[in-house]
Structure 1
Amino acid sequence: MIIYNLFPLLAGPFPDWTPHFKRAAAMGFDWIFVNPVQALGDSGSLYSISDYFGINQAFVGPGSSSSQKQLRAACTAAEKLGLSMMTDLVINHCAIDSPLVQEHPEWFVMKRGKPTNPFCVEPDGSKVIWEDLAQFDHRKSTDKDGMLAYFVSVVEHLADLGFRGFRCDAAYQLPAEFWQSLISRCRAKHPDIVFVAETLGCSPKQTKSTAAAGFDAIYNSAKWWDFTSPWLLTQYALTRSLLGSISFPESHDTERLFSETGGNLDAMRQRYLFAALFSSHLMMPMGFEYGFRKRLHVVNTRPKDWEEPTIDLTDFITQVNGIKQGSSVFGSEGPIEQIPHPNEAILILRKKAAKGCDQALLILNKDPHGHQYLHIDDLYALIDAPPPLHDLSPDWPMDYLPTPFEFDLGPGVARVLTTEGNKRP
C-alpha cells in the first residue's frame, strides 16, 4: 500500500476532495487514508467521536445532498482514480459526552461512577490525560459481546459508505482476542477489507501480540531512526514474517519535516526515499509534497491553513513510488541487513525479497548537509544473488556499474541498486 493521508480538516468539505485524489493518483499512490469523519464531542477533536454513525458537519458541502451521499460520492470519485479509501477506526475510547456513556455505562472503565479518561506516558515520563475522552473497557466489561457487535456494525456502516480499509487507532491497547473476533466477523461479509494496526509507542511484546491478531499491516518507527542504531532493524525483524509494516517521513502526530529540518530539501528527499524503500508499505500526509510547515492539528486545522507551496517534490515522489511499485524487494517485508562501510556517514542496507531470490542495495548518504565519497571495491561482493545489478536511483542512474565503484554522494543522496532486471520507472 502506498498511502496518501488526506487530512480532512485541511482538505475541507467532501466535494473539495477530488483534486487531492487526482494529485495523489498522479504521484502513484493507491490508497487514501482519511482521519475520522464522524460526529464529534464538544472538544472538537477528530479523535473524540460522539456518534459513530453520524457525519461531522464541517465536511458537508453546500447543496441538497445528504452528508452520507456526499461522503459516498467522494469515495466513488477516489475509486474511479484507482484509489482505495481507508479511515480511522477509533474504538479504544469515545467522546466523554457521547450518548454511549449514558446508554451503555457497562462498556466503559468506571471510577466512582464516572468514566475513566485514557492517558499516555511521554518519553520524558510525563503523563498526558485526555479529559475529553472516555475509555472503553474491552477487558472487563460485563457486556463484551454487545460492545463487539456494536463495533462490527460501525465497520460495516463505514464499509457501506465506501471505505475499504481501517487504521485501528491505539490498537495495541485493546486485547488481541477482541481484534481477532472483530476482524473475522467483518471479513465474513467483506473478505477484502484491510485492517492496519497503529502500534507506535508500544512495547515489543505488545507489538508482536497485536501483529498476530489478524491485521494486514502495522506501523514502524523508521521516521525516528538515526541510520545507525540497531533498534529499527530489530523491531522490523520482530514482525516481518507475520505481516507488512508502514513507514512514513512525517505524520499528523509529528512536526512537519520541512519545518523540523529548517527547510532542508535534501533531508526531505532523503527521508521520503528511505521510508518508501525500507518496508513493504508507505504513508505520506498531504502537504509534504509542497514543504508545508504548519503542523496538522486534530482540532484547529482548517482549509485556510493550506500553505503557498515553497517547494515541489511531486516529480521526485512519483519517481520513488514508481521504484516501489515495480519491485518485489521494496514492496515486500524481506530480510534486511546493515553492511558496514569505512565511511560512517554512509548507510548500506541489503534487502531481500520475501519470496524469490531478488535482492537490492540501498546506499544512502546519512548527511543531509554535505557530500560523502563512496568507494566500494566490489559491489557484487555485497550481494549473494546472481548478477547483474541495475541502477534504479532517482538521481543520475547509471547504465553501467563499474568495479571498483566510486560515487560522490550529494547531501542525503542514495544509490538504489537491484538484481530485478532493468525496471527503471
Structure 2
Amino acid sequence: MMNTPWMDDAVIYQIYLRVYGEEKGKFGTFTDVQEDLPRLRDLGINTIWLMPFFPVGQIRRKGEAGSPYAIRDFKAIAPEYVDCSKKQRDDEAKVNELGRKQFKNLVKKAHELKMRVLIDFVGDHTAVDNVLLDPANPPEKGGYHPEWFLWPYGTRRQILLGDYPLAPADDWTDTAELNYGIPVAGKPHGDQLWYHDDGDRQAMWEYMIGVLEYWVREFDVDGYRCDFAHWVPLEFWKTAISRVKALKPDVAFVAEAYERTAELVQAGFDGIYAFELYNQLKTLHHEVRNGDPYYEVPYIRNKIEWENSHYPAGYRMMRYTENHDEIRATVMYGGIERSQAAFLLALTLPGMPMIYAGQEWGETVRPPLFEGNFEEMTFKPLNRQGNSALEAWYQHVLAIRRDKTALRKGAIHFVNTSSGRVVAFLRQTEKQIMLILVNFNGDAAGEEVHIELPQAILDACAQEGGQLDDVLGKGLRIHVGSHGVRQEVQLHLAPWQSLILELRKPTHPEQAKTVSGKEKKNGKKR
C-alpha cells in the first residue's frame, strides 16, 4: 500500500463500454472513452475503471452479447470495442492489432491528462469455452490446460465430449471455475481446490500472474479492480501483487470482496469495496421511503468505526452509491436530492469515491450485463443530455474534495448531535479542520439540530477566535469565540441538506449570514 499514495486523491469513474457510445445499437469504443477524457477531467475524475473488454465465450452464453465477466481470452480485445469499419472487424488479426493500438492511445492520453486507468481482472472464473480449454490453443496463448479448472467427479474433462467444468455458483452457468490448488473457506466447491501435482498449480499461477503482468507491461495500465477477490486464495494474491508491483511499483489493486476483507488488505490490496456502508445507506433509504420512524443513521457511524477497528493501518475503502451490480442511485434512494445526500457522505468520508458512468446525469436505467439481465432487454446509450444541473453539482463537490486536504487525508472524528437523522463528523489535519453534516430527514419541515462544537475547533480558535464557513456555497457562517468555553450551535437543515464547514480565521461577520451559537460553560447556558 505504501507504493500507491496517489490513491489517497483518487476519484474513480466506472465505465461500461457497451453503453458508453453515442449511437443506439452500437457499443462504445476505446475512442469514445478517449474523446471523453477531457470532460471527465473537468468533472473532477482522475482515475477511470474500464469494465471487461475481452472476448466473451460462446458456449452457454447469456443473451446475444453474453456477460462481459464470462471471458474467453484474458489477453485479447473484443472487436466490438474497437473503432473500425465492418470490413476491418471481419479481419480478426487486423481488428485485434487496431484494438491494441487504440487501447494504448487511450492509456497514453489519460496519462497526458494526469489521469490513471484501472481495468478488470476476473481471477475466479472464465468462460466455459475459454481458450485454455481448447485443444487447438497454441502455447503462445497459454496452451491447453483442462487441469487448471474444477470438474465434476467422474467426467472426461473434455468440452467436445459434452463435459463442462463446474461453475462457481449455480446461476453462473456461462462460467468455468479456475482451480488455484488451495482450499478457500466459504466458497462453493472450496474443499475441492487441490492438485495431485503441485507443478500444475504453479503453472496455473504463473499463467494468471502473467495476465496481470501483460496489461501493465504492454499497455502501462495503472491497476486492477479484482472481481470477487475473496474467492481467490490469499496466497495467490500475495505472490501476484508482489510480482506486478516489482514491474510497476505504483500499480494499484482494488478488491471487490465481501468476505476476508481485512485479510485481503493484509495480502497487499490497496483498496477494498465499502460494501458495508453501501448496504447501510440502502437500508436507511428503504426505511425513509417507507416512513419507518427508526432511521439507521447512527449505524453509519458504527460502520466507519468498525472499519477503523477491522482493517490494518493505511486501509482505503472505495465508496460508491451505485455500480453495475446495483440499482441506479436516483432510483435506489428515491430522487436526485436523496442520492446527493448519500453521495456527499461517501465523498467526505475517508476513502476513494467512485462514480458509475451516467450517475452524474441522474441516469435511472441500470444497464444489463446481458440482454434480459435486470429486466433490461437492450443496451441503451447513456443519456448525455440528462441533468446538467446535477452534473454541475458533482463537479462542484468533487472540486471541494480536491481542494481540501482534510477531506482526502484527514483523520475522522464523529460529532454528537441532538438528531438521530443527521450524521456529523470532523475531518482534520494539522493545518485544516472541516465539519461535515448530512441530513437524512426528507420531511418538508427539515431538521432542527443542536451540536456542541468539538474540542478540536475550540482549541484551534483559542487565541483569536474563528469561523466555520460552508464551502458548498450557501453563505452560512458560524462564529467561534476565543474564550475556549463550550459552545453549542443550533442549525435548521432543509430536507436532505448537507453542510461542509471549513474552520477559518475570523473576518468581518457582516460578509455572510451568521448563525449565533449558544455558549455553554459548566454545563449551563449563558
Q: Compute the TM-score of the two structures, normalised by the length of structure 2.
A: 0.72
Q: In the aligned structure 1, how far is the partner of 2:443 from the partner of 2:478?
A: 28
Report the counterpart of residue 372 of structure 1 in structure 2.
446
Q: In the aligned structure 2, how far is the partner of 1:273 from the partner of 1:240?
A: 25
Return the letter of the residue paired with 2:278: K
What does 1:331-346 correspond to in 2, within 5 Å? 331-332=408-409, 334-337=411-414, 339-346=415-422
Q: In the aligned structure 2, how far is the partner of 1:415 from the partner of 1:335?
A: 16
Q: In the aligned structure 2, how far is the partner of 1:208 from the partner of 1:96?
A: 31
Q: In the aligned structure 2, how far is the partner of 1:47 from the partner of 1:330?
A: 34
- How far apart are 1:39 and its partner, in Å? 1.2
Which whole-Å deviations, capped at 9, do the CAs of 1:328-380 have from their partners, x for residues lacking one?
A: 3321373443x332222222223445xx4754322111124534344436424
- How far apart are 1:256 and its partner, in Å? 0.6
Confirm whether residue 327 of structure 1 aligns to residue 327 of structure 2. no
Q: In the aligned structure 1, how far is the partner of 2:50 from the partner of 2:459?
A: 41
Percent identity between the two aligned chains: 23
Report the counterpart of residue 509 of structure 2 in structure 1.
none
Return the letter of the residue paired with 1:345: R
Return the letter of the residue paired with 1:144: R
Quick check: 1:393–1:414 contact (8 Å CA) kept in 2? no
Q: In the aligned structure 2, how far is the partner of 1:244 from the partner of 1:349?
A: 18
Q: Classify the secondary structure of the residue corresponding to 2:254.
A: strand
Tell me: CA distance 1:105–1:401, structure 2 relative to 1, closer, same or farther (3 Å): farther
- Higher mean Cα deviation, 289-298 or 303-312? 303-312
- How far apart are 1:398 and its partner, in Å? 3.0
Q: In the aligned structure 2, how far is the partner of 1:359 from the partner of 1:224?
A: 29
Computed over aligned residues only, the root mean square deviation of the Cα atoms, in angstroms, reads 2.5
Q: Alignment partner for residue 105 of structure 2, among 57, 61, 73?
A: 73
- How far apart are 1:399 and its partner, in Å? 4.7
Report the counterpart of residue 167 of structure 1 in structure 2.
225
Q: In the aligned structure 1, how far is the partner of 2:146 from the partner of 2:128?
A: 11
Q: In the aligned structure 2, how far is the partner of 1:169 from the partner of 1:390?
A: 42
Confirm whether residue 6 of structure 1 aligns to residue 6 of structure 2. no
Q: Classify the secondary structure of the residue corresponding to 1:38.
A: coil
Report the counterpart of residue 297 of structure 1 in structure 2.
368
Quick check: 2:457–2:503 contact (8 Å CA) kept in 1? no
Report the counterpart of residue 167 of structure 2 in structure 1.
117
Quick check: 1:166–1:194 contact (8 Å CA) kept in 2? yes
What does 1:51-90 correspond to in 2, within 5 Å? 51-62=73-84, 66-90=98-122
What does 1:244-263 correspond to in 2, within 5 Å? 244-262=316-334
Larger radius of gyration: 2
- Higher mean Cα deviation, 296-305 or 6-15? 296-305
Higher percent of residues as helix: 2
What does 1:137-156 correspond to in 2, within 5 Å? 137-138=179-180, 139=182, 140-141=194-195, 142=198, 143-156=200-213
Q: Compute the TM-score of the two structures, normalised by the length of structure 1.
A: 0.87
- How far apart are 1:392 and its partner, in Å? 4.3
Which whole-Å deviations, capped at 9, do the CAs of 1:290-320 have from their partners, x for residues lacking one?
A: 1111102222486643236442222211221
Report the counterpart of residue 311 of structure 1 in structure 2.
387
Q: Alignment partner for residue 25 of structure 1, among 15, 18, 41?
A: 41
Tell me: CA distance 1:392–1:176, structure 2 relative to 1, closer, same or farther (3 Å): farther
Q: In the aligned structure 2, how far is the partner of 1:265 from the partner of 1:196?
A: 28
Quick check: 1:385–1:419 contact (8 Å CA) kept in 2? no
Tell me: CA distance 1:367–1:310, structure 2 relative to 1, closer, same or farther (3 Å): farther
Tell me: CA distance 1:369–1:92, structure 2 relative to 1, closer, same or farther (3 Å): farther
Quick check: 2:468–2:503 contact (8 Å CA) kept in 1? yes
Q: In the aligned structure 2, how far is the partner of 1:145 from the partner of 1:82?
A: 37
Report the counterpart of residue 407 of structure 1 in structure 2.
491
- How far apart are 1:212 and its partner, in Å? 0.6
Q: In the aligned structure 2, how far is the partner of 1:321 from the partner of 1:187?
A: 29
Unaligned 5+ residue runs, structure 1? 120-127
Tell me: CA distance 1:382–1:163, structure 2 relative to 1, closer, same or farther (3 Å): same
Unaligned 5+ residue runs, structure 2? 1-9, 21-27, 89-96, 135-143, 156-163, 183-193, 285-296, 481-486, 507-526
Confirm whether residue 212 of structure 1 aligns to residue 284 of structure 2. no
